[in-house]
Chain A
Amino acid sequence: MSDLAVPPLRNQKPSLWARYTSANPLLIAALALVLGLVFGAIVIAVTTPVVLDAWRGIFHHWDGLPHALNVTFDNVGAAYRAIFTGSVVDPQGFWHSLTTGKGWPNTLTPISETLTYATPLVIVSIGVGIAFQTGLFNIGANGQAVIGGIAGTVIGSMINLPTFIHLPFSLIGAIVGGMVCGAIPGLLKAYTGAHEVIVTLMFNYVTYAFLLFAVLSTPFQQPGQSNDISRTLDPSAILAPLFGTSSGLRVSYGIFVAIAVVVFAWWLLDRSSLGFDFRVAGANPSAARASGINARYVIVVSFLISGGLAGLAGFVQVASTTHYIDGGFLIGNAGIGFTAITVALLGRNRPMGIVWASLLFAALSVGGRNMQASTGIPLDLATVIQSAIVLFVATPVLVKEIFRLKKAPTSTLQLATTGWGT
């Protein structure tokens, strides 16, 4: 929407203060993050027994209230500190490494894990974002990633190819797998009008069933295993760690795949005529029809690209971390396809915005694991915070009212396809 909106007049320069306190998208996103963290803090406070006990005792002791506040802040602080040290850097360890020159791998592990998590997330979120820009809501990215992961792993583990061709072939196989899975909702939407939200959601369940079927059926299952686990990728088909296996850091060459996808998405959306068609179709379907854009073609191609990127992300996830697929692949809160929806919305469907949003969400998820390990607060809190952030980003007027910002906020989160469409 905002791409077509009239830009503010340049010659009336507002003051610096006014510019930074007006409701610009970046500020809205930052404040939504703050509100999301506050919401998470409330959730921690009302569900942790220690904190509840402290609040129950506020009338029993003369220092009941300060004590309760103290306990609350201690618990919330410990949780958020664990998220930070588990996803970015532990200041003590960093200082130790800096002064003694030892233990760098340990110090860098959190940031490496965040990048490892963010790499497929960037790719799949850009896929979802491209669909959003076309006015399509691809909730099935998770299923497409599962199919892509299976397709890439089949090629990477069951076909013998020379070293330099094997990885590219596996990556292409993953893209094709995701495209096939994305093409079905696209074609159904284009030719029957079936709403993509229902179709892609149902496909998620179909792909989970297919995943369990695949990892338990003979050629694909790990030989000699009766569990739901697939064959392991050949060494020639993995995305190797960037700093070598001996470093213990998992961040892999997949980063370059993600960078290539970001560049591709930037070119597609900002430089190609197809991307222009996408954005027109997304911003104003009737204008698109009037200017001769073939709506069916746009829908199908957008879904192909979206599904292909999701499939690629699924395989990047496999090839840079586990090197095999099991029955829990991308299920539940590990499902990057669902996180991708929120990431794309937070990043306002632009490639660079998605990169920053992915890094933030990856940090929350990776740090959440550390939080669960060190404080016992479940990892799912990260997802709760993420969805709260997106709820606020989707409602910029509310954020503006809470913080009393000036100027009407710009919202780019209105989908063009409201309702069930025809």
Chain B
Amino acid sequence: MGNVSLVTPVTESNSPVARNRRTRVIAGIIMAIGLFSLFVFGLGTHAGSHASLTFDPLNPTNGPWHLAALTFDAHWTNIGLGIVMIAIGVEVFWREPRRFVMGRFGIVALLFLFTLLVWSARGPGPSPINYINVTSLLVSASATVMVLIFGSLSGIMCERAGVVNIAIEGQFIAGAFLGSMIASTTGNFFYAAVGGIVVGGLVGLVLAFFSLRYQSDQIIVGIVLVTMLSSLSSYLNLQVLTPFPNFNTGNTASNIAIPLLHKIPLIGPVFFNQNGFWYAMLILLGVVSFALFKTQYGLHVRAVGEHPKAAATVGIHVIRLRYINVVLGGAIAGLGGVAFMATQGQFQVGYTSGLGYIALAAMIFGRWRPSGAVVASIIFGLSVALSYELVTYSVPVSLYVLQMFPYLITIAVVAGLIGRVRPPAADGQPYIPG
């Protein structure tokens, strides 16, 4: 995950001692998770019970080439994975690696959910379903991953220029609402995407207006915008969508299969048989990475986010650049809202359920870099998908406890990371020209 070239200032929470202690705490948590998996999911499973991985999508017509199911021993698999997790914990404890510690934590969290899945899908076992459909799991994760990447790209655009965009959730809501109305009336998701881009950009403009022109607290303005947009969406839902159901028919965007490539098992359905928003996300990912790190514009943006005074001295128009980036970031998040709606269907109040904030956490996890944000979004998206997948197996754990999991991972990641990651130096600081 990228190398931070600037020297990190040594502060109290960043000193080597504090870092070592924190690394050891993380190592201890990893080992505890590994031991739990080993004893409960591994040794707690009867020897000789089996689980299998299947790779055919739920709707196999025109799907990928068939791949035979992989059946394996649930008992020994979970014991093995438990030992792998403990080994990762021991490695973190002894070697105290400086990079990718939280990445290892994320991988362990995914392994833990996978052992839980194997444990609940074991046969003979409590669940009538004795297979794990990997393809459908990854496809359902990809929907969340896509939205999270849109959100974290939006955050990166704004925060690299020094403005905290905590209103991503609000831009998602606005994009999803307008997107649903446009897609329902025109039946064309291209117009919906344009609508989402415009409304997201407008929300970004409001955020920029208050925080750049009046130097209001960016976090307060962002939170207030989210409150306003979520209550406005609830208001308009009752006032407009309920009396006119034609505005919210809930049709989803159809998939565009890339010829031949979509026939590849596992990879095909996940990467090459998705709706247009997925491909738009991939293109946007490349464009944002290139623009921010390989062009003069990107150099200016990063200069404005790190040291606006110095940037202004060499003739960069700080406020204008921040306006541009916050509006563009808002537009990206608005598009993400439409993308969410295009996969979930009918607009409902509160159905983004905090994804905008998880996207912010993904951005922090990814150290304000698109490549890191992708890794983080995949970890978060998979954990969301796994926790929902578990519901279909009669797991003896409450559905609601499982639903806490993505949020708890977010908290753990944020707690384990801040202090070791460095935000853009002027992030959230108002800039007073002159």
Assess whether B59 is interfacial by the CB under 8 Å rule: no
* Pair B419/A192 contact, Cβ less than 8 Å: yes
Assembly CA distance A151 to B218 (angstroms): 35
**Interface membership of B210, Cβ < 8 A:** yes
A194 within 8 A of B: yes
Asked whether A342 is an interface residue with its Cβ less than 8 Å from the other chain, the reply is: yes
Q: Is the interface of B mostly helix, strand, loop or mixed?
A: helix
Given contacts A209-B401, A209-B403, A413-B216, contact A332 B234 (CB under 8 A): yes
Q: How far is it, in angstroms, between the C-alpha of A362 and the C-alpha of B318 when the chains are bound?
A: 42
B231 contacts which chain A residues (CB < 8 A)?
Answer: 333, 380, 383-384, 387
A156 CB to closest chain B CB (Å) equals: 23
Chain B proximity of A299: nearest CB distance (Å): 12
Q: Binary interface profile of A, 385-409, with partner B (CB < 8 Å = 1, else 0)? A: 0111011001101100000000000
- CB-based contact A377/B360 at 8 Å: no
- A343 and B219 CA atoms in complex are apart in Å by 16
Chain B residues with Cβ below 8 Å from A332 are 234, 349-350
* A-B pairs with beta carbons under 8 A, tally: 168
Question: Does B423 touch A at the CB level, under 8 Å?
Answer: yes
- Let me know if A422 and B14 touch, CB within 8 A: yes
Asked if A202 is at the interface (CB within 8 A of a chain B CB), the reply is yes
Given A194-B418, A384-B231, residue A418 in contact with residue B423 (CB < 8 A): no
Contact A213–B354 (Cβ < 8 Å)? no
Which candidate, B187-195, B291-299, B370-378, B426-434, is the interface stretch facing chain A?
B426-434
Q: List 28 A-B contacts (CB under 8 A).
A: A48-B239, A49-B243, A192-B22, A194-B414, A197-B166, A198-B364, A199-B414, A203-B407, A205-B404, A209-B403, A213-B400, A332-B349, A332-B350, A345-B220, A377-B239, A380-B231, A380-B238, A383-B231, A384-B235, A387-B228, A390-B220, A391-B221, A394-B224, A398-B210, A415-B220, A419-B423, A420-B427, A421-B418
Can you name 12 extra interface pairs (CB under 8 A) apart from A205-B353, A387-B227, A418-B219?
A43-B235, A188-B415, A197-B219, A202-B361, A206-B404, A210-B404, A213-B398, A332-B350, A380-B234, A383-B228, A387-B228, A394-B220
When the two chains form the complex, which single residue of B220, B361, B403, B404 contacts A413, counting CB atoms closer than 8 Å?
Answer: B220
> A55 near B: Cβ within 8 Å?
no
B354 lies within 8 A of A205 (CB): yes
Residues of A within 8 A of B404 (CB): 205-206, 209-210
Tell me, rounded to whole Å, the shortest Cβ–Cβ distance linking A75 to chain B.
Answer: 12
Asked whether, in the complex, the Cβ of A198 is within 8 Å of the Cβ of B361, the reply is yes
Interface centre among B14, B214, B221, B360 (most CB of A within 10 A): B214
Most buried by B among A49, A194, A377: A194
Q: CA of A383 to CA of B224 in the docked complex: distance in angstroms?
A: 10
B155 to chain A, nearest CB (A): 11
Q: Report B256-289 CB contacts with A as 1/0, cut-off 8 Å.
A: 0000000000000000000000000000000000
A193→B419 contact, CB < 8 A: yes
A309 to B232 alpha-carbon distance, docked (Å): 29
CB distance from A237 to the nearest CB of B (A): 26
Choice from A188, A384, A395, A422 contacting B228 with Cβ under 8 Å: A384
User: A89 an interface residue at 8 Å Cβ cutoff?
Assistant: no
- CB of B90 within 8 A of chain A? no
Residue A381 CB within 8 A of the other chain = yes
Chain B contact patch, size range: 35 or more
Interface residues on A, range: 35 or more
Contact surface of A with B, Cβ cutoff 8 Å: 43, 47-49, 137, 139, 188, 192-195, 197-199, 201-206, 209-210, 212-213, 216-217, 332-333, 338, 341-342, 345, 377-378, 380-381, 383-384, 386-388, 390-391, 394-395, 397-398, 413-415, 417-422
Task: Return chain B residues, CB-CB under 8 Å to A43.
Answer: 232, 235
Give B237 Cβ to nearest chain A Cβ, in Å: 8
Name A49's closest neighbour in chain B (CB-CB): B243
CB-CB under 8 A from B240, the residues of chain A are: 47
Say whether A194 contacts B164, CB under 8 Å. no
Chain A residues with CB below 8 A from B239, complex form: 47-48, 377-378
Knowing A383-B231, A387-B228, A418-B429, say if A47 contacts B236 (CB, 8 Å).
Answer: yes
- Chain B residue, CB-CB nearest to A184: B411
